[in-house]
Structure 1
Amino acid sequence: MPDSPLSDSPYEVLGVSIDADEATLRVAYRRALRQAHPDTGGSPAAFHAVQRAWVLIGTPEARAAFDRGRGGASGDGGSREAWAPPAPRARRDSRPLARSHGHPGGFSRERYLTLIREWVGRGVSLDDPYDPALVRSAPRDLRHILADALAEEATARALPNLGIAYTIWHDLATDAAGPSAPPKLDHLVLGPTGLFAVQSEDWGGPVAFKRGELIGEALEGERPVRALAARAKAIGRAARVKPTALVVVVPDEHAAEPLQLGGSVRGATVALVRRSRLVSAIREGLPGSAHLGGTEVMEVRSRLQAVVRFA
């Protein structure tokens, strides 16, 4: 996966301009490394970010390759940060996959493309709306929309590995009211381990549970669990079913533990899950979350298929 649109560039991590000379870059790296080291008040995540920044731009060769990628075409013939929609990939095995419906990330990408063109301005040519230099110069709200699209697509690539016993719907429209727009549910997953309402998120920073809600500096006042519960309730009410779990999935580095439980909402277990842990968490079922029998899964699937609308 490429870096998130919300993450700092290696120049920003080291605190230098993009035209800094080699000596300035090396001094900045050493200073940043000392400040980020856990033994001097930093954190493992910050220390890793500084090390990775140096890998990307610490040598003339690496820096030249990174700078070519910032503008679009890189030496290997493609964009270094592939934020454009991914190309379909040929399958390498014949294992039966879960059935999927909808277009993951499609709604968020449409919003991003509309808003980035408005931000650039009428009459301005926009050859590549995913150019890394353009994306990183855009306001955070715009970058967040693109980051969410990428997060949804990453989840969608993993979920089919649940197998044929599961059915997945992506980008579901809901009539949930509230301040968090748009009122859509990213993913709904149905199988023998339950009915999971899943929201894929990337806020650009760590989050954790406190009193049943997610907190973190990057949230900027959002209440993700409350919003997810409202969206899941709206779909469940229309189909006359009850979700058994509410799951927020984030990039691995943004959750301190692979799986964190946050209590329950209306009988549904609430969890924060690292992206790499999502498939196994659903396949195993969340602690305290109800499993469904074969006949019940078929009935719930029929009810959902009759009412599901896509955003």
Structure 2
Amino acid sequence: MTDVFDSPMSVSAYEVLRVDVDIDDEGLRRAYRVRLRETHPDTGGDAALFVQVQRAWELVGTPEARAAYDRGRGHASAEWGGGATAAPPPRPDTRPRARAYGQPGGWRRERYLSLIREWVGRGVDIADPYDPALVRSAPPEIRHILADALAEEETARLVADLGMGYTVWHDVFADRDGLDPEQKIDHLVLGPSGLYAMLSEDFGGPVGVRRGEITGPNVIGSPVTQLVSRARVIARAAGVRFSGAMVVLPDDAILDAVTDLGKVRGTPVVLVQRSALTTLLRRGIPGAREVGGTELFDVRTRLQQRVRHV
């Protein structure tokens, strides 16, 4: 399970339980019981928060687990700082991977590094821009950029294992002039199940859905609407049709593996847990248009000619 407590955007297990980090074990246990009652769906609480409280207790509910959690929080720097420069993990097999173009998370990492240095102050030496204490002290908008970069990189690792029948383009310009990197699509994935526009997101906690759009305390703007609009720009430019759009989220952010949002401006849209992504891409969104045979080759050629990376 992908854990929202590992995100630059996430609150800590202690914050979920609303306690100080140095609280004693008995006080921690009492706080957990209070939070369970407050968030339990049967008493009017939020189901997603209820799950988050339970997960927090798993992490710090025993002295052994708590000690391991406290030690592990210091390892985030190495994990967050990996990016494109980290050596890829050993592959368990030699099966062909999906063809991939572009640098997932690359633009957002560059943006994060620029903004964190600007926030700290010009001329101030930053020994480690991914130090957890520094990251968690930064404004939410800066932390969100790093969280999104990590989300894009994780999605890229997953879709690479789809196999040679799939082609993936990362960090694709999606504004008409091809000038604004903010107007981008994180991933385009083409395979027998269809052509999909994908957004990799991490809002640092559970999210909801209202009228076909994502809601939550850290959700700014209309991410689903923006994704569909940007897909339409690419569709017109390349002369292709999208089968659907997907928003990829950490497993703990939504309750179901796949949440169907219906059609947005004629495009089927789903929210999908990270752990369910490859299964969904192989199967396709139910009812979505498949792409096969010579059409698959034609769509790939059209995109290859038109896609520009940020």
TM-score (norm 2): 0.86
Say whether residues 1:214 and 2:203 are aligned partners. Answer: no
**Structure 1 residue aligned with 2:89:** 89
1:82 counterpart letter in structure 2: E
Residue 299 of structure 1 aligns with which residue? 298
Going from structure 1 to structure 2, the CA distance change for 1:268 and 1:21 (only over 3 Å counts) comes to closer
* CA distance in structure 2 between the partners assigned to 1:295 and 1:116 by the alignment: 47
How many residues align? The count is: 302
Q: Deviations over 1:161-211 (max 9, x none)?
A: 22211100111122159xx97101000011122111111111223344443
Q: Deviations over 1:208-243 (max 9, x none)?
A: 4443x3131235452112211221122222212122
1:240 is matched with which residue? 239
Contact persistence 2:109–2:146 (CA under 8 A): yes
Segment drifting more, 263-272 vs 274-283: 263-272
* 1:16 to 2:15 alignment: no
For residues 70 and 145 of structure 2, the distance between their equivalents in structure 1, rounded to whole angstroms, comes to 24
The residue identity in structure 2 corresponding to 1:245 is G
Aligned to 1:75: none
CA distance in 1, matches of 2:60, 2:265: 50
Q: CA deviation at 1:68?
A: 4.2
Alignment RMSD (CA, Å): 2.6
Distance 1:95 1:21, change over 3 A: same
Q: Deviations over 1:18-75 (max 9, x none)?
A: 34445544443443344334444434543443344344444555545444444x4xxx
The within-5 A match list for 1:108-119 is 108-119=108-119
* SS state at 1:185 partner: strand
Judge which range, 260-269 or 188-197, deviates more. Answer: 260-269
**CA 1:155–1:294 in structure 2 vs 1: closer, same or farther (change >3 Å)?**
same
Which residues of 2 match residues 102-141 of structure 1 at below 5 A? Answer: 102-141=102-141
Partner of 1:258: 257
- Deviations 1:238-268 (Å, cap 9, x if unpaired)? 2121222111121222223222333334543
Separation of aligned partners in 1, 2:223 and 2:297: 30
Gaps of 5+ in 2: none
- The residue type equivalent to 1:161 in the other structure is D
Q: Mean Cα displacement is larger for which, 299-308 or 201-210?
A: 201-210
Q: Which has the higher contact order (CA 8 A, sep 6+)?
A: 2
3-state SS of 1:279 partner: helix
Higher mean alpha-carbon deviation, 13-22 vs 226-235, is at: 13-22
Which residue identity does 1:259 align to in structure 2? V
Q: TM-score, normalised by structure 1?
A: 0.86
What's 1:155 paired with?
155
**Which consecutive residues of structure 1, in runs of 5 or more, have no partner in the other structure?**
73-77
Q: Percent identity?
A: 55
Q: Flag the 1:255–1:112 CA change in 2: closer, same or farther, 3 A.
A: same
Report the Cα distance in structure 1 between the residues aligned to 2:138 and 2:175, rounded to whole angstroms.
Answer: 30
Question: What corresponds to 1:226 in structure 2?
Answer: 225
Q: In structure 2, what is the Cα distance between the partners aligned to 1:265 and 1:217? A: 19
